[in-house]
Amino acid sequence: MAELNYEDFKRRVNIQDLLIDAGYSLNKRDGLRYPSYVRLGIDGRRVRGDKFIVTGNGLCCFRPQVQKNYNVISFIKEHPHFFSEYTPGINGDRLVNLVCNRLLNHPIDRRPSVVTDRERSNKVFNLQEYGRLHFRKNDWDSQKAFYPYFKSRGISLDTQRAFSNHFFIAMREASNGKTYSNLSFPLRKPTDLATIVGLEVRGRANAEGKTMYKGMATGSNASEGMWIACPSGGALENVKDVYWFESAYDAMAFYQINKNELKNSKNRDSEKELSRLHKSVFVSTGGNPSIHQFKGMIAETPEANHHLCFDRDRAGQMFAINFALTKAGKTFNTHVTLKGKLIVVVTTDKYQRHELNPEQFEFDRLLKILGADAQAQRSEMKEYMQSLRNKEDIFSGDEYLLPPDLLKSYAKYESACEEYHSAKYSRLVCQEDLEDMGDELKTAYEAYKAAMKDAVSQYDSAGKTIYHPCEKEYKDWNDQLLGKRIAAEEDNTVDKSSESSVTARNSPEERDEEYNEEEERTSHFHR
């Protein structure tokens, strides 16, 4: 996996996300054009004078008293103790590397410092720069070109046909005059499926069956864009199931495995399940998923079941936890220690640090521990929702029936309200202090209102979050399709820069007989 440098961090790490991670909360009084962030004390009240304002370009922040600008790099270096990775004597570059990579969900090695001189590109993705060769279902000549890409992956012609609208071969002429071709899976934002914002790219396999190249096309928006495929062509708003993967190959392998099992099943509901599988949406994040990818898809499919089919390793477990916490509306950060422990820090209401043992990864149990169990949250809201005097007004119920976290948020708002009005009518408080108390009241109210809306939204949602990795002896779904078992000595780390050691179980002759002799005649296909 490529190392990220300072320019990557400044471009990709949101300064507002960094401030939240450092323990600051949005002060909505200052509006959204120039957001300000304040620190709250243990009593829930704003700490006077501890405030940062985000600059107009959204890349820096400053303290009003000091008038000194900080970007993400300088902020971390000058406020190291704000971050969970800080230890006395830690190198500043090392700390920047750890914090920024964690916020980007970018696993790293034991690198001592950030690489500052790596070549980079700020170019925006342009689909018009590529020639495209499409897979046409009824045209064998168009299909032959895809043989070198799917053969080694065990992806059948039937599966290729099911997803044929969601991949193509992209061709581009390099500066040396050569034309390079790669299998490409288009990235789209859930809010705009008509626009391709990047490409998840895979090269052909070598003689050993290993993919020689994988990555993202230049300028791809891999933070918000993702591969979104529905074999039936159905709309997102109607989908009942969304399946999440780290690569499009894994998604297609999962579909193939489950379709074959259902076709061979004697269960009387198998036809119904086949239809449901065909109407499902399959998503590839193209590697480490971002919070923006999660939020974008969740917003468009709030009532769908989300199946988390990430790789069966530490990183895949972390991605599943990240999704559940995002869906639950939590403010959090996660990372994996050098010893393989999964650390989850939740800062939604108060600082909570959890150290999870990945060897005992029981997803549903962990969600309850982390307060991200949607079903539990629904149960907790039931009594309050039944007490609503006006079904159209979510605030018309009996507050004492609210779940503990919401009740605490309401108590903060009620206390701030009482304090403000008592001070206002006493006429013993100066105007400046009264305005500060008014700001605290607004902040408390907005926090309570947002928490209520999120809780009600989850109560109304029918969607479940389901952890659905491949079988335990495999690294990912494509390996399961191929029968490649994880070697006993494999180090199960978060580093995705290299392929896991595997041993083959089935022979190439056992795979996809649809090609038969015609395939063998085209195996010499070159770019």
Q: What is the mean pLDDT of each run of 10 residues along the chain (527 residues)?
A: 77 90 80 74 72 80 76 91 80 90 68 34 81 91 92 95 96 82 95 94 79 81 93 90 96 97 88 94 92 92 92 90 90 77 81 82 88 66 84 86 88 88 83 89 91 77 83 95 75 38 29 34 31
Q: What is the pLDDT of residue 177?
A: 79
d(C-alpha 185, C-alpha 393), whole Å:
44
Output the pLDDT for position 461.
56
Q: What is the pLDDT of residue 524?
A: 31
Q: Do 253 and 480 meet the contact criterion of CB atoms below 8 Å apart?
A: yes
Tell me the residue length of the chain.
527
| 6-103 is classed CATH 3.90.580 | yes
Per-residue model confidence (pLDDT) at position 32: 54
pLDDT at 115: 32
Q: Is 175 exposed, middle or buried (0-12, 13-18, 19+ CB in 10 A)?
A: exposed
Q: Is the dihedral of CA 149, 151, 155, 156 positive or negative?
A: positive
Quickly list DSSP for 81-93. GGSTT--TT--HH
pLDDT value for 475: 94
For the CA atoms of the chain, what is the radius of gyration?
26
Cβ of 231: how many Cβ atoms within 10 Å? 21
Order of strands, sheet of 179-187, starting from the edge strand that comes earlier in the sequence: 131-134, 168-173, 179-187, 198-202, 214-216
- Report in angstroms the alpha-carbon separations of 389 from 377, 381, 392: 21, 15, 9
Supply the pTM of this predicted model.
Answer: 0.60
Provide the residue type at 459 as one letter.
Y
Torsion 377-383-384-386 (CA) sign? positive
Angle at 408 between CA 404 and CA 413, to 5 degrees: 150
Domain extents for the chain? 6-103, 127-312+469-519, 378-460
